[in-house]
Structure 1
């Protein structure tokens, strides 16, 4: 299938949000409180002129999606960008084209494309600053075969989720990372 076909298959933002069983309140909270920096006028105008749309590969249980999706939705709202959502686990054929490090089905993945379906840039699953925090937090985990691994991993996930929800600087890092990836392609691509 072509990207445009995948996009057409996707759920609208409203449909996706209404179907969320996990993290709905957290996504809504970040969306309500995140604002684009005030000095973004030139970038927003340029992005509006590109007439892009975004296809999101995600799952509602994903902590990274909880952080990244509301930032994307705020950007999309400001720039009149239509966003559609596909569940990763139901769309592995597409997901496998966007593997992290060539092996991992990490989400979310945001595929920015032109109206004709031409891919401009794919972004995700994390901003570099967020990746460093995740790596630091996970580095203290015992080996996977350790009896306490699952318990410790659950604690790390809860800690990260709390950080994602409360640390507004992480929201800004996600936005800046996304903006940099887009800007590189639309200004220099």
Structure 2
């Protein structure tokens, strides 16, 4: 069996990718049928998807990007694709994707595309986090050279530190942690994601 190169895997995934708006519509359409983006349906994942659509809608309306950050984003003059691996039921994705979308909308050189993790296993396996299929994962891809410039995710560094500290203290990730993480995202208002993406890419 022939092994595909990373650019081939990325190009194949891009051919089956969604715009941010189409991704949002896909989740809405599935929820009309009480379904989630997961291959195996689960009532909990459907409920998470409902909650996440509300979160994304709120972030789409309320997210603010500083003038300084806007200038940095607009100054970028190289064609890039931001390919995001996500799922509608993922809480971290619900907070992160609206931020990425707002940034990409500021510069016509940046095209954001979204794929579902469980439909793109070969791609996901190239971008594991500590051996796990953690999402969202942003792949920054130069379509001209077919090179991966970098990747980001699944969380901003302060949120990752919060999760790791909680796991160390409690030995597991539970509902209380999810609540703490939600509060952190609400307080941070996307600033850490913007800062990390501008700093590194």
TM over 0.5: yes
Per the normalisation by structure 2, the TM-score is: 0.76
Aligned partner of 2:132 in structure 1 is 104
Aligned partner of 2:200 in structure 1 is 181
Per the normalisation by structure 1, the TM-score is: 0.81
Runs of 4+ off more than 4 Å:
none
Q: Does 1:11 align with 2:32?
A: no
**CA RMSD, Structure 1 to Structure 2 (Å):** 1.9
Shift of 1:135: 2.1
Cα deviations by residue, 1:12-65 (Å, 9 ceiling, x for unpaired): 111101122411110121122222211135422332x11211111011111111
Aligned partner of 1:37 in structure 2 is 66
Q: 1:71 to 1:41 in 2, by over 3 A?
A: closer
Aligned partner of 2:159 in structure 1 is 130
Contact 1:76 1:82 survives alignment (8 Å): yes
Q: Matches of 1:170 and 1:5 in 2, distance apart? A: 33
Consecutive unaligned residues in structure 1, runs of 5 or more: 144-151, 183-189
Match for residue 59 of structure 1 among 87, 91, 114: 87
Q: Does 1:28 align with 2:57?
A: yes
Q: Matches of 2:20 and 2:68 in 1, distance apart? A: 26
Q: Matches of 2:159 and 2:101 in 1, distance apart? A: 19
